[in-house]
Structure 1
Amino acid sequence: MLPPGDPYLRVWDRDTIVAPEHQRRVWRTVGGPGVVLAAGEVVGTWRPRKRGAKLTVDVEPFTRLAASVRVGIAEAVEQIGPLRGATTTETRFAED
């Protein structure tokens, strides 16, 4: 899970890390999302939302993700929660 503005995303040749059909979802003019890495490949975007002590992360995968990748994302969100002052977390995946 890379946050918006992560140095990894500041490459000149964007085609080397994200397929052209997904680039508009990653590099937005305002309010860019974070990206999800799996096996060194960008596989989707994520956006956090915190209400009270709960952190909800919405994940929009580019393709169908394996169950093991989804579990890894949910575990990463659990680790991010305390860093953002949350005591509970929820990971939601957009329909593939």
Structure 2
Amino acid sequence: MRSREGEAWWDLLDGEMTEVDFGRRTWVLTKDLDVLQSSPTPAGVRLLPPRDLYTQGRDRSTIIDKQFHRDVFKAVSEPGAVLVDGRILGTWRARNNGKNLSMSVTAFDPLSAHARKAVESEAEKVASLRGAAAVEVDFESY
């Protein structure tokens, strides 16, 4: 559809849309604006698998600093992502080691003790899903 063909449809929403600044010209329904501006801050730690939908959005800079894009988004052998409070703060890789699972976590900055403990808890869930008896987590930082 050409933009001028869509003008008639756009005009039907006159008075119902509000322009917002999101790095480019963007519009939202006015009735949704308060909810979007007051959304809760994400909390918690998760180990996202490679190519998780959360990491596949167009605006990657909202979840990860641009300097680390090449570490997370690889064409081959893509790692998993360490998600802390809604931001990707590192990567992870796991490999079977006999009946156990070895996981290496590389954080972009040192993780807090609380975040490390939460990562270890998540790693136990990954080990269980892979049928491993135990998991060993090795932490590194850039």
Bin the TM-score by the shorter chain.
over 0.9
Structure 1 segments (4+ residues) deviating >6 Å: none
Q: Which residue number corresponds to residue 55 of structure 1?
A: 101
Q: Which of 122, 129, 134 is 1:88 aligned to?
A: 134
Aligned residue pairs, count: 96
Are positions 1:19 and 2:55 aligned together?
no
Q: Deviations over 1:60-79 (max 9, x none)?
A: 00101100100000111111
Which blocks of at least 5 consecutive residues in structure 2 are unaligned? 1-46
Q: Greater relative contact order (Cα 8 A, min sep 6): structure 1 or 2?
A: 1
- Contact kept? 2:83, 2:90, Cα under 8 Å: yes
> Looking at CA atoms only, which structure, 1 or 2, has the larger radius of gyration?
2
- Contact kept? 2:108, 2:141, Cα under 8 Å: no
Q: Distance in 2 between matches of 1:62 and 1:38?
A: 12
Are positions 1:74 and 2:126 aligned together?
no
TM (norm. structure 1) is: 0.94
